[in-house]
Structure 1
Amino acid sequence: MPGVLALLLVLSPATPAPAQEFAAQVHDLEHYLGLEPGRRAISEGFAAQVAADTPPVVAALPPSPLRIAIIYPGNQVSDYWRRSVAALTARLEQSGLPYTLDSHFTAAGTEVRRQEAYIMEALDHDPDYMVFTLDALRHKTIIERIIGRGGTRLILQNITTPLKDWEGYQPFLYVGFDHATGARMLADHLIERTGGQGSYAVFYGPPGYVSQMRGDTFIRHIESGSDLELQATYYVGFDRAKARRAALDLLRESPDTSFVYACSTDIALGVADAIAELGLGDRVLVNGWGGGSAELAALAAGDLNVTVLRMNDDNGVAMADAIALAESGRAGQVPTVFAGQMALVTEQTDAATLAALTRHAFRYSDPETAAPSERP
């Protein structure tokens, strides 16, 4: 066995993801919206508000600044998390709501204990709102403690599939971009691009919710709609260097691989590094996931072939507008889940189309790219 495999958790194609099985614990988004009358209408109304140029009107401002705590796995190449904070604060300022922000960034998927310490520290200050995520099963226990404590409205980001165990006491808001939807968009493109023939590998991040929803959904969609053969799956964390080493090992053994499916930006860039190093850019495809600045630059350079471009700032806008509605006595207009829009872009997408998409995606976090009508 090549040496690099000893450093990585490598699974055979038939082996399910270990331990942290989320799929059975969550509602599919479309299924959830249809469970109760009125859910879809509230969701659509809120989506229209997020797309609006102005936030909800807050007639009476709170007597003291709102306390908002954010704990994010933002120490990675992807700028998704930091752009979300920028969009949140810009939209809040546009609304006129006074606030204080206490934010902490940790490594993705590997610093659960540090995240827990930050949460306990933040709760000591009785925040009005807390923004966190759910990717590891240990997060579930932490979140249940926050919900059970009361007094703090909890926003869970980067998850759009409500947990079944929390029916009756869900968080204030789940917000993000549906991982399964993005995975299916990428699968459909790669099936079309390969003619549904050949072989591929899947590079997961750390075991957890994001890896399962992006990776396992992709595999199921490929299996149901093509003759593509899954030859290997790797867990490399959200780590560019590990992804590069694993891709070098894979592609040296199997240079005829049709594509590597990457579950995150860092992974995609590591795979792209290996493809370039081996001179296989004209033979092996690799995708991005999310369409942040680093991915768009790699697409322009021809180092990535396709990605799903999230309308990134919808994240922060949705959180800010939900807060504004709640603070104006209209919490009933806030859905349990908000899932933002995504667009498929490739290295062949024309410049005008890509510019229009990025202007909207980054309209608050990078207002210089936004059209005048979209600038806050």
Structure 2
Amino acid sequence: MRYSLATFYLMVCIALFAQALPPLAVSHGAGGAGQASAYLTIAQYERRHPEQKALRKAFSAMVSEKGIRAPRAARQKQIRIAVIYPGQQVSDYWRRSIVAFRARMDEIGLNYHIDEFFTKPAVDYRIQEKLIRKSLDQNPDYLVFTLDIKRHQRIIQRIITRSSPKVILQNITTPLKAWEGKQPFLYVGFDHVKGTRKLARYYLEKTKGKGSYALLYFSRGYVSVMRGNSFVESLRHYPDLKQAAAYYTDGNREKSRLAVLDILNTAPDIRFIYACATDVAFGAIDALKQSKGTEQIMVNGWGGGSSELEAIRAGDMDVTVMRINDDNGVAMAEAIRLDLEHRSNEVPQIYSGEFALVEKGINPADLARLKQTAFRYSGQTP
């Protein structure tokens, strides 16, 4: 890690403080409808920009295929890329993203250097801002970052107005309305709402639309709105399936465990716990394991990384929505290649990868095929 001693000390203190805070209960109806309206869905964006649909389709086909070596002129250009990811968590999405990105860049022959910075999820934005400033001191050609809280928007907006470096926003596929006319170079990830609806359909089928459930949000911000609030919205027409409790967990496993223990005291008859992220799901599983009479309560994962797939194989997790993970890293590499070839007009504004629903009891051969596709560059153990 390339942190100064002072920055590292500050990160440790904030992480310890955050872990000491209790999970935050959410009142019914809370959680950011206004924030959701700040974004355009893929369908909304493509209605405004109809040429984008064909661009996205052609680009997606390129991503799914084997890499083609770039022309000599593009390979000779030396580029620098700064990557700031919330990769210090159980989910291996971010680590696999980097591995797949590097592998595809190597496959197509680009000459690059990557400065990597990993933080905890929901870490104090001031640390991330310091890391961005540190990365900008290296004059990168591209900056890869994510966007979860409102303050991230202010940081990124200052950069995209400068036009350099070109910004790739990870784990977000919904362009900001406020940035129309001056968007980042690329939004890349997996449509949170699409994945959430798959899980909602699963739970509706299992419960027949009756009973109660608990919801564990991530932190206050984009992911919770897109995965959490969209889940509630998906169940809106099923009044017999009621939300018994909801908590913000900051993506922290221990906070999630404590939240579920509290939920079980007040609503022991819930049918399932909807978790917005991997670490959150494992906190819920921890709580259920230490409580009696909870075997019937279902828990989902979100993303389908290695830890979730192992939990499903072991019977600890009931279902997850699995991202075809490595395609996000491939998409970033191909977008950069097109840019270096002066073909940036072929880069869509949004790349959104595909999902597969994985349930407990899946045939091992089917799961192996899914892993081979999803982790085609990053392998089984990145």
Q: TM-score, normalised by structure 1?
A: 0.93
Alpha-carbon distance in structure 2 between the residues aligned to 1:45 and 1:56: 18
Is the aligned partner of 1:81 residue 2:56? Answer: no
Cα distance in 2 for partners of 1:150, 1:279 equals 57
Match of 1:17 in 2: 31
**How many angstroms apart in 2 are the aligned matches of 1:359 and 1:195?**
33
Match of 2:48 in 1: 35
TM-score, structure 2 length as denominator? Answer: 0.91
* Structure 2 residue 171 is matched with structure 1 residue 158: yes
1:356 is the counterpart of 2:336: no
SS of equivalent to 1:117: helix
Aligned residue for 1:40, secondary structure, equals helix
> 1:278 aligns to what SS in structure 2?
coil
Cα deviation for residue 225 of structure 1 reads 4.2
Structure 1: state its 5+ residue gaps: 1-5, 370-376
Alpha-carbon shift at residue 223 of structure 1 (Å): 1.7
Distance 1:280 1:287 in 2: 18
Q: Which residue of 2 aligns with 1:230?
A: 243
- Structure 1 stretches of 4+ moved >6 Å: none
Q: How does 1:190-339 map to 2 (within 5 A)?
A: 190-225=203-238, 227-339=240-352
Q: SS at the partner of 2:161?
A: helix
Relative to structure 1, the CA distance from residue 162 to residue 321 in structure 2 (aligned partners, 3 Å threshold; closer, same or farther) is same
After superposition, the Cα gap between the structure-2 partners of 1:353 and 1:135, relative to the gap in structure 1 and judged at 3 Å, is same
Q: Can you list the C-alpha shifts for 1:260-310, whole angstroms capped at 9, x where unaligned?
A: 100000000110111111134531001000000110111111111000000
SS class of match (1:61): helix
Q: How far apart, in 2, do the equivalents of 1:55 and 1:286 lie? A: 41
Distance in 2 between residues matched to 1:367 and 1:251, nearest whole Å: 35
CA–CA distance in structure 2, aligned partners of residues 73 and 244 of structure 1: 21
Are 1:57 and 2:70 counterparts?
A: yes
Amino acid at match of 2:297: V
Unaligned runs of 5+ in 2: 1-20
Q: What's the offset of the Cα at 1:67?
A: 0.2
State whether structure 2 residue 66 is matched by structure 1 residue 45: no
Question: What percentage of aligned pairs have identical amino acids?
Answer: 47
Q: Which amino acid aligns with 2:131?
A: Y
Tell me how far 1:17 sits from its aligned partner.
Answer: 1.4
Pick aligned residue for 2:150 from 108, 114, 137: 137
Deviations 1:154-190 (A, max 9, x none): 0000000000011111000000001111111100100
1:175 is the counterpart of 2:188: yes
**Distance 1:121-1:226 versus aligned 2 partners, 3 A rule:** same
Q: Which amino acid aligns with 1:269?
A: F
Instruction: Give the conservation status (yes or no) of the 8 Å contact 2:75–2:109.
Output: no
Q: CA deviation at 1:64?
A: 4.5
1:317-350: per-residue Cα shift (whole Å, max 9, x none)?
0000100111111111110000000011110221
Please state how far the C-alpha of 1:122 moved relative to its aligned partner.
1.0
Aligned to 1:372: none
Return 238-247 or 360-369, whichever deviates more: 360-369
